[in-house]
Structure 1
Amino acid sequence: MLERLRRRRGQEGFTLIELLVVVIIIGLLAAIAIPAFLGQRNKANDAAAKSLVRNGATTMEAYFTDGNTYAGADATKLAAIEPNIVWSAANMDAGANEVKFTITGTGTGYTLESKSKSSTIFKYEKLANSTVQRTCGTGCTW
């Protein structure tokens, strides 16, 4: 029996308890990291939608400088100014680079909307008195 224990002293390796502790630590780290990663992903999707709407507002202002009105702005004319945005009167999927636009009044204002992959709708309105309103869903910020 003593001979058997002496032979075992030279063996190296991990015990089952040590392996279980390592697995538990890795599990805890994963439980902390995965929700943080998913939160950052939603923030990135929201930032993409905001960026689309801001670029859309810049495009609308460029269109305004040519004719001193927003009237007559359509998807073709806006795409000539900013071809990276898919201009639509109905769809607003930021994942597909879509921005929904509406000309308000008699060409004195406009509304732009885009929906992020996290289902938050970002809305940019330029009113007739040149006031800008930015809105989005609950719990989000511009």
Structure 2
Amino acid sequence: MSYRQRGLTLVELLVVVVIVGILAAVAYPSYRNQVMRSNRTEARVALEQRALQIEKCFTRFMSYASEQCAATQEGANVETPERNYRVTIAGNETTFTLTATAINGQVADTACPALTIDERGRRLPVACW
């Protein structure tokens, strides 16, 4: 009568663990990079919405810095809903610049630490938009 061994040996199990570890080491940085890039959408949306609100104020009050405009008064240090960016506003009666600066976990996005848009619609840095 012959006895047949079933199951895995320790060497086979170690080979599988090493292969999974190598795959994870390659895949995780790529995954994190993609998450950082997708989080930039949050900043772009927040900047576009705030710029639209400020433009509406300019149309109504003929000034970007009008005290009657709630969008400019609330524009200082507002965080995005997921708390990945802080949106700030700088400007005067005829110009404005909105900046979304990375905070919390998004700080690791060194390629695009801050995104800006101004009254002319210029978006910087171009590669991040």
Does residue 33 (structure 1) correspond to residue 27 (structure 2)? The answer is yes
Q: Relative to structure 1, is the Cα distance of residues 132 and 79 closer, same or farther in structure 2, using a 3 angstrom cutoff?
A: closer
Q: Relative to structure 1, is the Cα distance of residues 55 and 31 closer, same or farther in structure 2, using a 3 angstrom cutoff?
A: same
What amino acid maps onto 1:115 in structure 2?
Answer: T
Does residue 44 (structure 1) correspond to residue 32 (structure 2)? The answer is no
Q: Distance in 1 between matches of 2:29 and 2:96?
A: 38
Larger Rg belongs to: 1
What amino acid maps onto 2:95 in structure 1?
Answer: G
* TM-score normalised to structure 2 length: 0.75
Which ranges of 4 or more aligned residues in structure 1 deviate by more than 4 Å?
Answer: none
* TM-score normalised to structure 1 length: 0.69
Does residue 121 (structure 1) correspond to residue 121 (structure 2)? The answer is no
RMSD: 2.8
Residue 102 of structure 1 corresponds to which residue in structure 2? 90
Q: Please say if residues 53 and 99 of structure 1, whose CA atoms lie closer than 8 Å, have aligned partners that are also in contact.
A: yes
Shift in Å, 1:19: 1.0
Residue 83 of structure 1 corresponds to which residue in structure 2? none
Runs of 5+ consecutive residues of structure 2 not aligned to the other structure: 108-112
Q: Distance in 2 between matches of 1:111 and 1:73?
A: 17
Shift in Å, 1:26: 0.7
Q: Please say if residues 110 and 125 of structure 1, whose CA atoms lie closer than 8 Å, have aligned partners that are also in contact.
A: yes
Q: List aligned pairs for 1:58-97, cutoff 5 A.
A: 58-73=52-67, 77-78=70-71, 87-88=75-76, 91=77, 93-94=79-80, 95=83
Equivalent pairs, count = 120
Runs of 5+ consecutive residues of structure 1 not aligned to the other structure: 81-85
Residue 141 of structure 1 corresponds to which residue in structure 2? 128
Q: Please say if residues 70 and 108 of structure 1, whose CA atoms lie closer than 8 Å, have aligned partners that are also in contact.
A: yes
User: Which segment drifts farther, 62-71 or 20-29?
Assistant: 62-71
- SS at 1:111's partner residue? strand
Shift in Å, 1:46: 2.0
